[in-house]
Amino acid sequence: MLNKDSVSLEGKVALVTGGGAGIGRAIAQAYGALGARVAVAEISAEKVSALREELADAGVDALVSQTDVRDSAQVADFLAEVDKRYARLDILVNNVGDHLGMVKTLEQMSEEEWDQVYQINLRHLFVVTKAALPLMRRSGEGGSIINVSSIEGFRANPYNVIYTCCKHAVTGFTRTMALELANDNIRVNTIAPETTDSEQVPLEYLLKPGHAGELLGKPAYLTRTLPSNRFGRPDDHAGAAVFLATELSSWVNGSTINVDGGGLAAAGFQRIPSGPWTIIPEVTGTGVQGVD
Ligand SMILES: NC(=O)c1ccc[n+]([C@@H]2O[C@H](COP(=O)([O-])OP(=O)(O)OC[C@H]3O[C@@H](n4cnc5c(N)ncnc54)[C@H](O)[C@@H]3O)[C@@H](O)[C@H]2O)c1
């Protein structure tokens, strides 16, 4: 029977990549608050220092290292440090990912740009997971791998086709690894965020005030396509990451949780100013061919 200990991570060791900001940081903080010892691979020296201080202030036993997850030698060194310090690994969160601000058609994109987006969104899942598995297997108690994808893994995202390809590929990685690791009792799942306020997506700066007016008393960009009427917060994803790391999700494997305020459910539907949803938005007249 489930009880309050079902969300406890006491005795567990979690590794979060890109834990210095945004979604990764919220996950590292949440895991620490629930009793886990937390290892973080973060590329920015400044963020490494800030997170070290933050986790120490919160009383979390943490190992925060300046590591570029695209570099297999750095990843191997970091895993060796985690092994030396904790001698086990129960939870791996492959969180690093970045659209790199690319807004280009396929024809405008260079081969170098294609490779850069691939490196930061897909290749490191292979590098980090491969390096982490021997330590994850060590305890013989199984574990949980959580990949952070995107809602763009389930729909088109024009003007960054390689980002969209990589996020779609995370689903294949997740499903395949769930089978390959089944005999080790290591579950593999994905979180797919919709637009979430973070360093990479700083909504306060990105959004034009007053854009597209108001709908239902809020900025229309929140209410027109998102049933939950707001963008995401890093903690929304931390909640899903806690679920996927604990026994609450013990029978969830090879799955994706869309943490998206209902955005994917809405798909092509949009709200009209009076509130109802339509699949034929923004048209004058009836929206039906041949009928004015
Ligand atoms: N924020 C969103 O709207 C959104 C939407 C969909 C999916 N996502 C996905 O969620 C994940 C986290 O996004 P976020 O918005 O929190 O990002 P963020 O940029 O705010 O934070 C990412 C962190 O990763 C670190 N990092 C970057 N490259 C690294 C590397 N090579 N090695 C180690 N650390 C590295 C950064 O320094 C930063 O601290 C990504 O996979 C992203 O694609 C985010």
Does some domain include residue 209? no
The CATH code of the domain that includes 62 is 3.40.50.720
- Average pLDDT, integer, range 262-272: 93
- DSSP state, residue 88: -
Span from the CA of 23 to the centroid of ligand 1 (angstroms): 7
- For residue 292, the model assigns a pLDDT of 60
The answer to whether position 251 is within a domain reads yes
Is residue 178 one of the residues assigned to a domain?
yes
Residues known to be catalytic: 163
Q: How far is the centre of ligand 1, averaged over its atoms, from the C-alpha of 21 (Å)?
A: 7
- Structurally, the chain folds into a number of domains equal to 1
Q: What is the pLDDT of residues 60-95, one digit of tens each?
A: 999 999 999 999 999 999 999 999 999 999 999 999
Find out whether the beta carbon of 123 lies less than 6 Å from any atom of ligand 1.
Answer: no
**Structure confidence at residue 274 (pLDDT):** 86
Q: Is the CB of 167 under 6 A from ligand 1?
A: no
216 occurs within a structural domain: no
Q: Is 148 in the pocket of ligand 1 (CB under 6 A)?
A: yes
Q: In whole numbers, what is the pLDDT of the chain averaged over residues? A: 95
Q: What is the DSSP letter of 208?
A: P
Helix (H, G, I), strand (E, B) or coil at 146: strand
List phi, psi (to 5°) of 265: -60, -35
Residue 5, in any domain of the structure = no
Report the separation in Å between the CA atom of 205 and the middle of ligand 1, taken as the mean of its atom positions: 17
Domain contains 42 = yes
The predicted pLDDT at position 34 comes to 98
User: Under DSSP, is residue 93 helix (H, G, I), strand (E, B) or coil?
Assistant: strand
Residue-range definition of the domain harbouring residue 136: 10-200+233-263
CA 241 to chain centre: 9
Task: Answer whether residue 159 shows pLDDT above 80.
Answer: yes
Kindly report, residue by residue over 93-125, the tens digit of the pLDDT. Answer: 999 999 999 999 999 999 999 999 999 999 999
pTM of the model: 0.96
Task: Tell me whether residue 92 is in a domain.
Answer: yes
Q: How far apart are the first and last CA of the chain?
A: 61
Residue 225 lies in a domain: no
Provide φ and ψ at 18, rounded to 5°.
65, 40
Angle between helices 161-180 and 111-118 (to 10 degrees): 40
pLDDT digits (tens, 9 = 90+) for 173-196: 999 999 999 999 999 999 999 999
pLDDT digits (tens, 9 = 90+) for 45-58: 999 999 999 999 99
- At 241, which helix (H) or strand (E)? helix 234-245
Q: What is the pLDDT of residue 282?
A: 65
Distance between CA 128 and CA 97 in Å, rounded? 13
